[in-house]
Amino acid sequence: MIYKKICSVVNPESDQAKDISRKISDQFSQCSWQIVDNFDFSNISAMDLVVAIGGDGTLLRAVSLSIKYDVPVLGINMGNVGFMTEIEGDNAILELEHYLENSVRVEERSLLEVDFQKDNKNLSYKALNDIVLARGSSVSMIETITEIDGIHLATYRGDGIVLSTSTGSTGYSLALGGPVIDPKSNDYYIKPIATHMSQFGGVIVSSDSSCEITVSSRKDAQISIDGFIEHELSSGDKIMVKISDTKAKFLRKNPPNHYWSTITEKLGIRKGNFSK
Q: Which active-site residues does the annotation give?
A: 56
- H helix intervals, the chain: 15-27, 56-69, 92-101, 172-175, 258-266
Planar angle of CA 268, 170, 227, nearest 5 degrees = 130
Gyration radius (Cα) of the chain, Å: 20
Q: Is 17 helix (H, G, I), strand (E, B) or coil?
A: helix
Which residue in 206, 197, 199 sits closest to 166, CA to CA?
Answer: 206
Q: Is 136 exposed, middle or buried (0-12, 13-18, 19+ CB in 10 A)?
A: middle
Chain mean position to CA 195: 24
Please spell the DSSP secondary structure of 149-197, one letter per residue: TTEEEEEEEESEEEEE-TGGGGTHHHHTTPPPPPTT---EEEEEESSTT
- Distance (Å, whole) CA 194 – CA 180: 20
- Distance (Å, whole) CA 258 – CA 61: 25
- Distance (Å, whole) CA 203 – CA 190: 5
Query: Do the beta carbons of residue 109 and residue 250 sit within 8 Å?
Result: yes
